[in-house]
Amino acid sequence: MPAQPQSHPDESRTDFDSPRRRRSVEPVLMDTAEVAAMLNMSTSWVYREASKLGLRGYKLGRGRNAKVLYKRSDIFKWLEQQKIH
């Protein structure tokens, strides 16, 4: 008797009516334009002031095409520190 091919786990599902749920993933990094828009400032301000304010960027790439990205959590942490009590 020949061996039965094993089916893929998804093929044996009986709940064909239920839609697959996709989880939206919140991005971890933001580019300079997103940070500027969020802070209502210009991109040149972000490039110039970010390091002075303690916002550390991550440089991806080389030369003119390099992108500077910032952690979303760092931006929100910095914003919390700017709160006027």
0.75 cut: is pTM over it? Answer: no
pLDDT at position 40 is 94
Q: Domains plus CATH for the chain?
A: 27-81 (1.10.1660)
- The answer to whether residue 30 scores a pLDDT higher than 90 is yes
Mean pLDDT, range 12-32, rounded to an integer = 71
DSSP letters of 27-67? PSEEEHHHHHHHHT--HHHHHHHTTTTT--EEEESSGGG-E
d(Cα 28, Cα 46) in Å, to the nearest integer? 18
